[in-house]
Amino acid sequence: MFSYITKQSLFSLGTILIEPQIEHLGIEVQRLLRRHQSGDFGCVDPYDADQNLKAIESDEGILSQYDVVIGETTIVICVMTEGDRSYTVIFALDKEKLKFLIDPENGNNQEPEGS
């Protein structure tokens, strides 16, 4: 017999906005959203985690940060939900690392010509 642990959603995410380069890298955004929404705020410090828990009750912004390993590079992905819960934004903290991961040759994330 299997047993499953279901984590309760603590708040609404609203509209989800994702930095396009993050989707390009194949990061499991849904997994990060589930963690964020269930109170697993990732690698934020204890003070910020406590502030997030208070923010859930007081309708303030909530910020999570997750270390995501891509190849040999670790990048911090942030998930931020606005206080009014109208939207959640997912973005990379280090834009230079993100550019490098997309195009290791020169860190250039521009679309190829003719696309």
pLDDT in tens, 76-86: 999 999 999 99
pLDDT at 78: 97
Tell me if 43 sits within 8 A of 66, measured CB to CB: yes
Domain that holds residue 49: 15-102
Query: Which regions in the chain score pLDDT beneath 50?
Result: 108-115
Tell me if 80 sits within 8 A of 108, measured CB to CB: no
44 located within any domain: yes
**List of residues 6+ apart from 44 with CB closer than 8 A:** 52, 63, 64, 65
- Name the domain count of the chain: 1
The CB-based long-range contact list for 60-63 (8 Å cut-off, 24+ gap) reads 62/11, 62/36
77 located within any domain: yes
pTM: 0.82
94 located within any domain: yes
**List of residues 6+ apart from 82 with CB closer than 8 A:** 14, 61, 88
